[in-house]
Amino acid sequence: MANREKNKKTLLELVKLPENSCCADCGAAGVYEGMLWKKGKDNGQFLERKFVLSVCDFTLKYYKEDESKGPKAIISVKDLNATFQPEKIGHVHGLQITYCVDDHTRNLFVYNKNGQEIVNWFNAIRAIRLVYLKTAFPTASDRELIPWITRNYLKEGYMEKTGPLDAIELGVVFIGSENHGYSVRECVPKGTRGNKWKCGVIVETPDRQFVFMCEQERDQREWVEVLKTVISKPMMPQDYTTEANIRRRSGDFGILFFTAKVGKTSLIMSLVSEEFPNEVPLRAEEITIPADVTPERVPTHIVDYSEAEQSDEQLYQEISKANVICIVYSVNNKKSIEKVTSHWIPLINERTDKDSRVPLILVGNKSDLVEHSSMETILPIMNQYSEIETCVECSAKNLKNISELFYYAQKAVLHPTGPLYSPEEKEMKPSCIKALTRIFKISDLDNDGILNDNELNFFQRTCFNIPLAPQALEDVKNVVRKNMSDGVKDDGLTLKGFLFLHTLFIQRGRHETTWTVLRRFGYDDDLELTQEYLFPLLKIPPDCTTELNHNAYLFLQSVFDKHDKDRDCALSPDELKDLFKVFPYMPWGPDVNNTVCTNEQGWITYQGYLSQWTLTTYLDVQRCLEYLGYLGYSIIQEQESQAAAITVTRNKRIDLQKKQTQRSVFRCNVLGARGSGKSGFLQGFLGRNLVRQKKIREDHKSYYAISTTYVYGQEKYLLLHEVLPDFEFLSEADLACDVVCLVYDISNPCSFEYCAKVYKKHYIDSKTPCVIIAAKSDLHETRQYYSLSPLDFCRKHKLHPPQLFTCNTDEAPSKDIYTKLTTMAMYPHAKLRCMCSCNRCTFCICHNLLNSELVRSVKAKLYSTVLNRLRSFMQDVGTVLLADEESGLTHQVHAVSFVEDSVYMESSVDPFVPVCNRHMTQADLKNSTFWLRASVGATVFAVLGFAMYKALLKQR
């Protein structure tokens, strides 16, 4: 019991993730590392290896001797399991680590000489598994998840997999509950060919039947008992996900053979043994052909149907599971040919949906018995039924066209004609034309409607990994010229010519070429972009944000340039519509024009275009990945996926600890009572005065505004979010930001009370910088009904004095306040004073430095030391001077003691003096009065310095 409590305590400590365990890559806490002895795969010897378990990316890594070469293996925590196996490993502290790779189970056998260390590793694996499960299944309770942290095996051992030519490792068989069609029983079916073990176990799943053979009856009983225990339990939420992933094993497909007494079973047996069988059973067992022996590198299941042994219900089940159906007829038997159209094809069509018909292949067997061909009889049938992919004549006896038959069967599944081409109309289907049109527009890098030689070579290299030779390129264009007058223009391929080429490929039976192009650009068998293509995996830890990286901005810039045909640095409605033609829908609504900067005509500018992409990436990165997928980012940039365009920023807490940030997008939440001027504040950021704001329609209003600001010469994005004024219903998302803007109307006496309540309830103990905006400053100021005036409230809570703002100006509103907000978001830890609001001029930089808390403290201590030394030597002449200096010292010490926690505190400046009057311009610097005051000040400072120097020398 004591050990159990000790292990539980260790587990809880590991779950808490100590602060000193940080990932070297991302800085996230939660890394457990150490040395373990690992069993080698080849020689079976145990070698000491370094293992690293990280919660940052949910992985377990281990390294060989030279760690500079990177980890030997990176194992996902998703399917990780650990169990103590001292007997199997041969060490009292042995641990078996199990994981899955491509549906195949792998094991690591490790141990440590220290028993406590191996227990810590076991608990660390359990801790990271718990964190992962809570992330993957946020709605599941702890009671449901705890049994899945790590699992002991109910039974482990060897069974023989039966079935002719079924030697491929299938990896994993999912065992669900009895209510979902899973069952287990003892049996030895007829036709199984166990090598030496005869005690069978049949596992029935909704998709197929698995037969396993045990060496002894005891093993058979134990396996059946254990499997029945699993089947009797109800399936949990995560079980359905696992079942779906296993059932969707990519690439596997089934071929169904049926018709009677025409030699179909002989065909299958001839393929397996590569010789004609002397004895042919009524039905061949299901066969799995490994991927490495098939032309298309795809595992293939061959299923034989026998009318004599199977019922109609079993036939219907096989039809529903088949990916392609081979209808076999005898070339020397006209009745078998007639039965193809009179019985088999109608039967299949009744059991399949019209929009998703299974491809059919007509197979003419026994071609060795006749000298003529049956193709003249079959061609009318092929023209009548569009679902027939092809017809093959073969002979099981002399092995003629046997391999070609299975090649065409695989081709019918991997490269079906149905989604691409309509035989009746002899043209491509609309969905195929739409997909190829999008591909053409993506490949047309200069958007001139023509694929020139460079673009054609890029397209060829992208899809087929090899460029076209100049002569081959010219031959392609010549073929199009001969058949279409407008297929080639200015020595380049037009859209019509591009579509004609693919029509020609399909008509000549080379539709695998078109399918290769479609799949390279992300399309599935239904000519829809796959979820894997549109939404690649992207891990975003908590308290991290997402931004576009430099390459992504370059790509978006090239997209903008190729659609900005009039070169006015703005996208007109027609240009914007042309840009989004590669999208299945219009992604940007009219509210976008009120979210980003536009020109006088209301068109989105280049800066506004990039700002909208930045906003989408920050707020909804999955939507951004989808949009980049439509534009073909991964193809044009030659990246694995759109995830390469995204930068996941460092945890905000680390930025605060290190007092620096690499982020370029900062969020400011704007809160205030209704009618306080929040919308005007947002639109003012986009350079719109009150006159332009009045033209905005209510249904086109946006609650976001984003643009760029410059902070000490660095370009940053500031995202303003207007939060609805529902005081009692502010969520964590409404409160999470980098800086807060509390807006009140100076002409409304009830307006400031809302700001005060929000600050005291949500931000008084927060480290988020806050600024109070006195909006509508062009109107007459009235006294607020709140107990404290806005200025006194700011002084009490050590906030920046209220900042005056108005958008009722002739020109665009000033952006100084937005620069302040961005600077505060970048440096929430800073404690600076500034009289100028630009933060870019030399005066601002020097003034901020000289008035920083550190410099002020040093200056105060220096004054105190000097004055204490001078006090005993300046009793007569220096009495007045000493009094003046002491009063100045008192003022300095008082300022240091009450340094506010916000940026740019201006306690010595009247807060209601206009901002423009406080900026130290170049004209001010050149003013003679300024230089006169500066010269007098320098002279006085020099005299005082000389006097102090003499006093110090006299003392010595």
Q: Do 805 and 684 contact (CB within 8 A), yes or no?
A: yes
**826, 842, 864 — which closes off a domain?**
826
CB neighbourhood size of 529 (10 A): 19
Q: Are residues 404 and 258 in the same domain?
A: yes
Residue 357 has pLDDT above 90, yes or no: no
Residue 154 lies in a domain: no
At residue 304, φ and ψ (nearest 5 deg) are: -105, 135
More confident residue, 796 or 376: 796
Residue 828 carries which DSSP code? T
Residue 185 lies in a domain: yes
- Nearest C-alpha neighbor of 533 from the set 419, 648, 634: 634
Query: What are 946's two structure tokens?
Result: 């000389």
Q: Which residues of 399-408 are buried (b: 16+ CB within 10 A; e: fewer)?
A: bbbbeebbeb
Q: Do 821 and 708 contact (CB within 8 A), yes or no?
A: no
Q: Are residues 217 and 304 in the same domain?
A: no
The Cα–Cα gap between 37 and 111 comes to 5
Tell me how far apart the terminal alpha carbons of the chain are, to the nearest angstrom. 76
> Coil, helix or strand for 301?
strand
Q: Are residues 6 and 123 in the same domain?
A: yes
- The band of 44, judged by pLDDT with boundaries at 50, 70 and 90, is low
Q: Are residues 295 and 403 in the same domain?
A: yes
pLDDT tens for residues 279-312?
777 777 777 766 666 655 667 778 887 777 777 7
Residue 298 lies in a domain: yes
Identity of residue 321: K
Adjacent-strand bridge partners of 741: 670, 771
Question: What are the angstrom distances between the C-alpha of 181 and each of 175, 177, 241, 312, 320?
Answer: 10, 7, 17, 19, 16
Lowest mean pLDDT segment, chosen from 551-555, 753-757, 948-952:
948-952
Determine if residue 426 is left, alpha or beta; phi over 0 gives left, psi from -120 to 50 gives alpha, anything else beta.
left
Q: Are residues 821 and 712 in the same domain?
A: yes
DSSP codes, 633-685: HHHHTT-SSGGGGEEEPPPHHHHHHHT-----EEEEEEEE-TTSSHHHHHHHH
DSSP codes, 88-120: HHTSTTEEEEEEEETTEEEEEEEE-SSHHHHHH
Element (H, E) at 238: helix 237-247
The Cα–Cα gap between 652 and 661 comes to 8
**382, 415, 448 — which closes off a domain?**
415
CATH number (domain holding residue 4): 2.30.29.30
pLDDT value of position 611? 95
At residue 180, φ and ψ (nearest 5 deg) are: -105, 20
Residue 121 lies in a domain: yes
CA atoms within 13 A on the CB side of 874: 22
Q: Do 654 and 645 contact (CB within 8 A), yes or no?
A: no
CA 693-697-702 angle, 5° bins = 75
The Cα–Cα gap between 244 and 103 comes to 12
pLDDT value of position 467? 81
pLDDT value of position 435? 94
Lowest mean pLDDT segment, chosen from 685-689, 717-721, 771-775, 911-915:
911-915
Q: Are residues 285 and 401 in the same domain?
A: yes
The Cα–Cα gap between 842 and 632 comes to 45
The Cα–Cα gap between 539 and 518 comes to 28
Q: Do 872 and 744 contact (CB within 8 A), yes or no?
A: no
Residue 726 lies in a domain: yes
CB neighbourhood size of 808 (10 A): 15
The Cα–Cα gap between 384 and 394 comes to 23
Q: Are residues 114 and 178 in the same domain?
A: no
pLDDT value of position 949? 67
Query: What are 251's two structure tokens?
Result: 């690439």
Residue 752 lies in a domain: yes
* Sequence-ordered list of residues with C-beta below 8 angstroms from that of 409, at least 6 positions apart, any chain: 255, 300, 324, 326, 361
pLDDT tens for residues 92-118?
888 888 887 655 677 888 998 888 888
CATH number (domain holding residue 810): 3.40.50.300
CA atoms within 13 A on the CB side of 576: 20
Q: What is the residue-averaged pLDDT of the chain?
A: 78
Which whole number is the average pLDDT over 565-591? Answer: 92
pLDDT value of position 28? 41
pLDDT value of position 699? 83
Residue 904 has pLDDT above 50, yes or no: no
At residue 147, φ and ψ (nearest 5 deg) are: -65, -15
Q: How far is CA 876 from the centre of its chain?
A: 77
Q: Are residues 511 and 615 in the same domain?
A: no
- Nearest C-alpha neighbor of 118 from the set 54, 41, 38: 38
- The band of 416, judged by pLDDT with boundaries at 50, 70 and 90, is confident
pLDDT value of position 324? 84
For 124-242, where are the E strands, in sequence order? 160-161, 183-186, 199-204, 209-214
Q: Are residues 584 and 631 in the same domain?
A: yes
Largest CA distance in the chain: 137
Q: Which residues of 322-338 are buried (b: 16+ CB within 10 A; e: fewer)?
A: bbbbbbbbbbbbeebbe
Q: Are residues 519 and 538 in the same domain?
A: no
- As a whole number of Å, the CA-based R_g of the chain is 38
Question: What are the angstrom distances between the C-alpha of 30 and each of 14, 24, 117?
Answer: 8, 11, 17
Residue 510 lies in a domain: yes
Q: What is the 3-state secondary structure (H, E, C) of 487-547?
A: CEECCEECHHHHHHHHHHHHHCCCHHHHHHHHHHCCECCCCCECHHHHCCCCCCCCCCCEE
pLDDT tens for residues 663-703?
999 999 999 999 999 999 999 999 999 988 888 888 888 99
pLDDT value of position 865? 66
Identity of residue 871: R
Give the pairing of strands 209-214 and 253-258.
unpaired
Q: Are residues 13 and 142 in the same domain?
A: yes
Adjacent-strand bridge partners of 312: none
Residue 187 lies in a domain: yes
Q: Do 932 and 831 contact (CB within 8 A), yes or no?
A: no
pLDDT value of position 615? 95
Q: Are residues 256 and 388 in the same domain?
A: yes
Domain of residue 808: give its range: 665-687+706-826
The Cα–Cα gap between 687 and 596 comes to 10
> Coil, helix or strand for 153?
coil
pLDDT value of position 947? 72
- Nearest C-alpha neighbor of 56 from the set 134, 1, 128, 153: 128
Which whole number is the average pLDDT over 526-546? Answer: 88
Question: What are the angstrom distances between the C-alpha of 889 and each of 847, 894, 940?
Answer: 19, 8, 17
CATH number (domain holding residue 594): 1.10.238.10
Q: Do 603 and 572 contact (CB within 8 A), yes or no?
A: yes
The Cα–Cα gap between 270 and 165 comes to 12
The Cα–Cα gap between 151 and 601 comes to 65
Adjacent-strand bridge partners of 648: 546
**810, 826, 842 — which closes off a domain?**
826
Q: Do 13 and 19 contact (CB within 8 A), yes or no?
A: no
Number of domains observed in the structure of the chain: 6
The Cα–Cα gap between 196 and 950 comes to 110
> Coil, helix or strand for 266?
helix
- The band of 437, judged by pLDDT with boundaries at 50, 70 and 90, is very high
CA atoms within 13 A on the CB side of 657: 8
